[in-house]
Structure 1
């Protein structure tokens, strides 16, 4: 009779934890970081997220470690390519700003030699050059 009362209750004492699927999330972030490697900063952030999720998935019991490893690898490659792309875009932006600065600097604000003003009906540069020659 005691055996009948010792049966397991239909309600579990502890509810099971839902799977987090961090391994799949790591792979998705890694693939996105590879797809958008030409954009500045975005693939670096996605790659870092992929590596973090791959590391956290090692503690999960229901994790496919192959997918987590591939997520970590694609995230690392995405970080490298994204860093190179970010450096390239930064170099292009700085070069453009330097070019624009020098282009506006080339326009003279005041004439360096007399030549833009008229003097007694003659251009001043012609008078200046004639004085240099004779």
Structure 2
């Protein structure tokens, strides 16, 4: 249950943050990307500085996956901000929300996670909604 609540909190925070990012991205998407990364680094140091082990204590696989994840998230965020600069938030943001469905498919294939019928139906509805929202744009 805690994961569900945190997931919903993440969605709300991300949604509100993306609204403000649209305002900044209208002016300059690269500025928004720079601001997000600077603030992100500062917050990480404040919130988590000293809580992680020495980087050399982690297995190489964990570090490599962490770097790959960071690169992909950073590139995806930059693409989102550039998309917000070029298009309407009402179209760009729903299209960018397909990401969790991709994560779910990868988790099923590679992590052998199981989905209930209700979860599958929910993902199908979300994908259908994204398609409907983007058809007339």
**TM-score normalised according to structure 1 size:** 0.29
Q: Greater helix share, 1 or 2?
A: 2
Say which one has the larger Rg: 1
User: Scaled by the length of structure 2, what TM-score is found?
Assistant: 0.28
